[in-house]
Homo-oligomer: A and B are copies of this chain.
Amino acid sequence: VQVRIATWQEAAHAIATMQVRGAPLIGAVAAYGVALAATADPADAAIQSATQHLCATRPTAVNLQWAVARVLAVIQPLSSEQRAAAAWSEARRIVAEDVAATRAIGEHGLATLRADRGPQAPLRILTHCNAGRLATCGVGTALAPVYAAQRAGQPVHVWVSETRPRNQGLLTCWELADAGVDHTLIADNAPGLLLMRHRVDAVIVGADRIAANGDTANKIGTYLKALAARAHGVPFFVAAPLSTIDFNCPAGAQIPIEERERSEFGATTDFVESVANPAFDVTPAHLITGIISERGVLAPTQIEAWRS
C-alpha cells in the first residue's frame, strides 16, 4: 500500500502505527517529518513541538533521534525563511546517504561471506524480521548482502522467519519474491532445528540500536537465533548503517525496549487474559561474529573505530 504523508503529524502517525518500519526508514521519514513541520511553521516553538512528538513515536530505533537531531542542527541556526528549504535538503541527503550505505553494506557483507565460503558456493542465509528494501531507503541492511550475491551471480537462498506477532517475515518474502531471490518461510520456532541440521551458513539480521560495546537491539527473537547460531558454530552478523550505532549508550541493558499493544497478536487471542509484547530484544556482543556497516566489517568490540 502506498500512503501519502503530507504533514508532520501524518509522518508521526506512519511511524507510530508501523505504516513504515525498519530503523533506517524510520529515520528518513522522521527527517521528512521535520521538513514538513518547518514548512508548516518554521518558528522555534512549532518545530520543537513537532520534533518532540516525532521522537516519542517509537523508543528503540536510534535512527529516529539521530535523523531528527541532524535536520534540527542544520536548520536551527537559520532564519525562519531559510529553514524549510534547508530541512528538505538535509532530509534528501539522509536518504541519499542511506541508499549508498545499504549498497556498501551489501558489498562488505558479501565479501565477508565469500571469505568464509568462496565465490561459487551456495549461500544459505537465515534472517529475521524485514531488513531489506522495505526497511531502508536502499537495498536493505541484512538483505543487502543477499542482493549483492544475486547481482554477483552467487546462488543464495534465504530462510525467512515469520517474525510474530507482526509477521514482518511476510514483507521479506514479498520483497525477495519481487527480486527473484529463492527463499523459504519458517516459523520463528524453527531456526534451532535448521541450524542443528547444518542447513544455514550464516545468520544476518538488521539492528534498531547498537550500543557502544556492540550489544545490539533488534526485533524480538533475534537473541534466540544468535544463541542457536553460536551453539552450532554458524557466524551471526548484524548489518546496519553507522546511524544505528548509539555511541552514547554504553551497553545493551541501557537500550529502551518498546512494549507494543496486545492487538498485534490478532483477534483470535482476545480471550487471553494477559499478553506481554516486547518488540525487541538485546543480543550480547559476545554472540555477534561481526557488524557490517558502510565502513566495512568489525567485531562488535571494535566499533569504537567508527566513532569518528
Contact = CB atoms under 8 A, between A and B. Distances in A.
Contacts of A187: 164-165, 188, 220-221, 265, 277
Given A227-B227, A228-B227, A281-B192, A170 B221 contact: no
A185 B275 contact: yes
Given A272-B170, A282-B196, A164 B185 contact: no
Interface string A187-225: 111111110100000000000000000000001110110
Given A170-B269, A272-B173, A281 B196 contact: yes
A179 interface: no
A183 B274 contact: yes
A11 to B, nearest CB: 27
Contact of A224 (B227, B272, B281): B227
Contacts of A275: 184-186
A174 interface: yes
Given A170-B268, A268-B170, A224 B192 contact: yes
20 contacts: A170-B269, A177-B271, A177-B273, A184-B274, A185-B272, A185-B274, A186-B275, A187-B220, A187-B265, A189-B221, A189-B224, A190-B281, A192-B223, A193-B220, A193-B223, A193-B278, A193-B280, A194-B276, A196-B282, A227-B227
